[in-house]
Amino acid sequence: MFLSSCCFSIIAFRPMMAPDADGKVLLQLDKLARPGGETVAPVHITGNRSPQDHPDPSGAASESAQNSVSATQWVRITTAAALREEPKPTSPEMLEAIPDEWFPVLREEDHWYEVRLGDSQSGWVPEQGTETTKLTENRQVISIQADAPIFSGPDVSFGPVRTARPNHVYVPNRVSGQWIELQGEGETASWIKASDAIWTHGEPASIAAFNESGEGVDGNLQAAKGPLEGKTIVVDPGHGGIDSGARGKIEDVYERDVNLSVARALKHKLQAAGAKVLMTRTSNDQTVTLQSRVDLSNRSGADLFVSIHQNMFVQDPSVSGTITFYSGPESAAPAKAIEEAALASLGSREEKEHVEQDQLYVLRNNRQPAVLIEGCFLSNPKELANSITTGYQERLASGVFDGIRTYLAG
C-alpha cells in the first residue's frame, strides 16, 4: 500500500484545517469560487452567472428552459477547443468542441464565453479560436451522423437500441463524460456518443420528435427493466468546498473538481441502469463532513457506497494507476470487482489489481458495503494532464460502473 493518501501533499494559499479521508487534520486549500448547482436558465449575455449542473438528484432537466431562451448571441467554434466547467484551462473538460459547432452565449468573463449545453448545463470556452454573431434562430439542437447508434444509457454496455435518422436534428438535454442525452417523450432515455454529434441551431420543424406512447421516428422507445433496478447506491465525490483535496503541481488541477466530474458521469450510468443514486455533494462549493457522508449512506440503507478520489505521491512522480480500498470483509468483493473493472477500462498499468484493506473514516464507519477508489495520481505528470479530460472521466466512470454492476447484478 502507498503511504500517501489523496491529500497528503496539499499546498495551502490560505490555510484552513480540515480532516482527510483518514480523519487526520491536514492543511487544506481555501475555497475556490465556482457556480452552484441550480438549473441553467438561459439569459442575456449581460445576465448573472449560470451554474454547471442540475441540482435535482434524479438529473431531470427543466421543461421550460429550451422554450424560454433569450440569448441571441452565439459563438461559432473556429479552432477545436475544450468546453470546461470553469473559465480556466486546468478545469475539467465537459465537451470537446470542433470547428463549425455553434453554442448560445450566456455571458462573457475574462476572455471566456459561458455557453449553454442543453437544458441543464453550461460550459466555458476560451474566446481565442471562436467568433460570435447574433442570430434570430435561438433553438439549440444537434445533428447526428446518419445511422449513428442511439443507446438507452451513457455506456456502450447498454447496447444500441436504434439508429439516427438522416436529415433530422435532435434536442440535447445534457452531456455526461463522452455522451449526450437527447430530449424525448418516450419512457427510455436516449444517449449518443459525443463524437457522433454536431452542436448547432435549427428550426423545430426539422427536429425529431417522440409521441406520448413512446413510439418515435426512431422506433420503439419502451423502457426495459435495468440490471440495477431496485438498488440504491451512494456516490461520494471526495473532498469539496474548502477541502480541495490533492492539487497538481505542474498544472493547477484540484482533486475535488476531477472527483465530481467522474461522479456525475457515474451517476448517469447508474441511473440509466435503473439504480437510485444518492450524491453526497453536487457542486464544488459544498463542504461536506466525513460524518455527513457516512450518515447519508447509513440512513438510506444503500446497497453500496462508492467514494471517488484521486491520489498523490510526491516522493515518486512515476507512480501511477488505481488503488481501491475497503474496510470490513463484507466490502472485499465490491472492492475487487470495481478495481478489476476500473483497471481494465483505464489500462493505466500492466500489473494486477491493487486492492487494499484500510480503516479510512468513510469506510470503517459505514454499515453498508463501502469502497473508496483512487483513480489516478495527480503527482504523475501524464496522469495529471489526463485527469481533466472527458476521456479519463468516461473511462474511470465506466470501469466503476462495470464493477458495481458485476457485484450487484452478477
The predicted model scores a pTM of 0.79
127-177 per-position pLDDT tens digit: 999 999 998 877 899 999 888 999 999 999 998 988 988 878 899 999 999
pLDDT band at 409 (very low <50, low <70, confident <90, very high): confident
Supply 251's cell numbers: 498544472
Locus of grid cell 488541477: 253
Residue indicated by cell numbers 435495468: 226
d(CA 360, CA 243): 17
Pairing of β 73-77 and β 81-84 = unpaired
Query: 50: which residues sit within 8 A by CB, 6+ positions away?
Result: 35, 40, 41, 42, 43, 106, 107, 114, 116, 122
- Angle at CA of residue 264, ends 198 and 186, nearest 5°: 60
Q: Tell me the chain's radius of gyration from C-alpha atoms.
A: 21
Which of 21-35, 184-198, 312-326 is most confident?
312-326
| Nine-digit cell string for 58 | 434524479
pLDDT classification of 11: cutoffs 50, 70, 90: very low
Tell whether the model's pLDDT for residue 266 goes beyond 70: yes
Beta bridge partners of 93: 84
Instruction: Please provide the DSSP assignment of 250-287 as one string.
Output: SS--BHHHHHHHHHHHHHHHHHHTT-EEEES-SSTT--
pLDDT digit string (tens) for 355-396? Answer: 999 999 999 999 999 999 999 999 999 999 999 999 999 999
Q: pLDDT by residue (tens digit) across 23-81?
A: 433 333 333 333 333 333 333 333 333 334 444 433 333 333 443 444 479 999 999 99
Domains and CATH numbers, the chain: 16-30+227-409 (3.40.630.40), 66-134 (2.30.30.40), 141-220 (2.30.30)
pLDDT value of position 335: 97
pLDDT at position 224 over 50: yes
